[in-house]
Amino acid sequence: MGFKADRDKARSLMRIMRIKTIYCKPRTSVIDPARYKYSYFLHNLSIVRSNQVWALDITYVPMPRGFMYLLVIMDLHSRHVVRKI
C-alpha cells in the first residue's frame, strides 16, 4: 500500500499485536553422523593425584541481551574448578 516503516516501527507494532518471529534455534548439541567419533582415551587410566588430568566444558548461556559462553576447566581427581573464563 506504499507505507514506509523501519525496523523499530515494525518491532513496536509486533510487540503491540503480541506476535513473534519464527526462526531456527541454534543446534549446538546435534551430532553430525558423517564425522568421526573419537573414543574416550581415559577409560584405562587410573587418576591417582591432583593435576594429572584436567577436563574442560564450554557452555552456551543465553542472556537478556544476547548470549555468552562459559568455559570451565576442572581437575578430575579433586573435582576442583581450576579456572572459569
Asked if residue 7 belongs to a domain, the reply is no
Asked if residue 5 belongs to a domain, the reply is no
How many separate domains does the chain show? Answer: 1
The region, left, alpha or beta by phi > 0 then psi within -120 to 50, assigned to residue 75 is beta
For the chain, percent of residues with pLDDT exceeding 70: 100
pLDDT value at residue 16: 94
Asked if residue 74 belongs to a domain, the reply is yes
Domain coverage including residue 61: 45-85
Q: Please tell me the distance from the alpha carbon of residue 57 to that of residue 28, in angstroms, as a whole number.
A: 13
Q: What's the pTM value of the predicted model, to 2 decimals?
A: 0.50
Asked if residue 19 belongs to a domain, the reply is no
Asked if residue 4 belongs to a domain, the reply is no
Mean pLDDT in order along the chain per 10 residues (85 residues): 84 92 82 79 88 91 92 91 82
Of the candidates 75, 73, 39, 76, which has an alpha carbon nearest to the alpha carbon of residue 56?
73
